[in-house]
Structures are given as C-alpha cells and as structure tokens.
C-alpha cells in the first residue's frame, strides 16, 4: 500500500512561492557606483585615461627593463660573452620575449669552456678595471697576486690579447705616488 502524496505535493509550492514573491519585493534597488551625475563621468574619464595611456606605458617599461636585465647582469659580472648576451636580449625583444630566459640563464652561467680555452672566465674589462685599481693604490696584495696569476695563465696558453699584455706590464709598476698621497690624507 502506498501512501497518498497528492495532498502533500500541492501544499508545498504555495509557501515557497509566497517566500519568493516576498524576497523579490523586499530587494532594494542596486547601485552600480557610489558616484552619480558629472562625478561619475569624471571618474570614468580618469579611469579610461589611466587604462589607455598609463598602463600600456608601464607595461612597455617593465617589459623593457626585464629584457635588459640579463645584459646588465652580464656586464656587472664581467661575463666574457656579454656582447652576445646583449644581442640575445635585443632579439628577445623582437621575438616577444621567447629568448629572454636563455639570455637570463646565459648571464648567470660560468663559461667553463671559455676558461679552458683562454685561461679566464672574465672579460678583459675586469682585468682593466683591476689594473686601474692597482694604479690608484686601491688593490690589496692578495687581489694583485690573483690578477697576476690569471694573466700569467692566459699568457701561458698564448691567448693574451694586446690590451691585457699592457695590463700585465702596468702591474709591474708601483702605484702612482699621487694615489698613495691621496690615500694617506683621506
């Protein structure tokens, strides 16, 4: 025997529909903004100018800064292949950033094969900067000994460029007297 559900089914929709009608009537009107009239127009114009002019300029500036960063890192670390990293950064700008991760990785790698071939993993600018520090009397004896060892290793391989040969000759000269005098008065 089945129970009679016909009365129960017809009785349930009436309270539900009454609650639904009451909820719809009790709803307050929605407001899209806290501004109205001319203030709303002025705020909308300001947002439009920011969205159309400022945001694209900021995106372009950040894109440029991020794509130039590997080049700056390579120069700062005296990477011997900094010019090639610079070229890869420029190509990455043209290709929409696809080559940027390669430039980033390359800027942070130690060029081990370069060291095997040339005896150093630094660019010539590194040795030139250290020679200038020596000439000014700002290079410690330990750093000077390390620089001489590196230049001797490069010369032993027969890969000493002329500018590094001049650096090697300048290292034999004592620091300039005016640099020492300035150091003593400071």
Domain boundary among 84, 109, 134: 109
* Within a domain: 101: yes
pLDDT band at residue 119 using 50, 70 and 90 as cut-offs: low
137/99 same-domain check = no
139/165 same-domain check = yes
Mean pLDDT of the chain: 80
Domain boundary among 109, 140, 159: 109
Query: Is this prediction's pTM over 0.85?
Result: no
96/147 same-domain check = no
Q: How many helices (H) and strands (E) does the chain have?
A: 11, 0
* Within a domain: 185: no
For position 175, what pLDDT does the model report?
Answer: 63
Locate 131 and state its tokens.
């020679």
For position 105, what pLDDT does the model report?
Answer: 93
Q: Taking 80 as the threshold, does the pLDDT of residue 51 lie above it? A: yes
Domain interval for residue 122: 118-177
* Within a domain: 69: yes
* Within a domain: 15: no
CB 85 within 8 A of CB 74: yes
79/123 same-domain check = no
Q: Taking 60 as the threshold, does the pLDDT of residue 180 lie above it? A: no
Per residue in 88-117, is it b (16+ CB within 10 Å) or e — as a string? bbeebeeeeeebbeebbebbeeebeebeee
Max CA separation in the chain (angstroms): 118
Query: What is each CA distance from 18 to 12, 24, 94, 169, in whole angstroms?
Result: 11, 10, 65, 100
Higher pLDDT, 54 or 28: 54
Number of domains in the chain: 2
* Within a domain: 1: no
163/122 same-domain check = yes
Domain boundary among 109, 136, 152: 109
For position 5, what pLDDT does the model report?
Answer: 58
């Amino acid at each position: 025997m089945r129970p009679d559900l016909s009365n129960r089914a017809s009785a349930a929709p009436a309270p539900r529909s009454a609650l639904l009608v009451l909820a719809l009537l009790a709803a307050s009107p929605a407001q899209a903004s806290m501004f109205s009239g001319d203030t709303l127009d002025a705020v909308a114009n300001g947002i439009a100018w920011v969205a159309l002019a400022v945001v694209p300029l900021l995106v372009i500036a950040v894109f440029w800064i991020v794509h130039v960063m590997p080049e700056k890192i390579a120069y700062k670390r005296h990477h011997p292949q900094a010019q090639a990293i610079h070229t890869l950064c420029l190509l990455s700008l043209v290709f929409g950033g696809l080559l940027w991760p390669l430039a980033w990785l390359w800027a942070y790698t130690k060029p081990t094969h370069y060291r095997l071939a040339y005896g150093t993993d630094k660019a010539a600018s590194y040795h030139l900067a250290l020679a200038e520090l020596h000439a000014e009397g700002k290079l410690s004896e330990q750093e000077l000994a390390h620089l001489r060892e590196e230049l001797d290793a490069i010369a032993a391989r027969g890969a000493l460029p002329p500018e590094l040969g001049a650096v090697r000759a300048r290292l034999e000269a004592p620091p300039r007297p005016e640099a020492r005098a300035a150091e003593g008065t400071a």
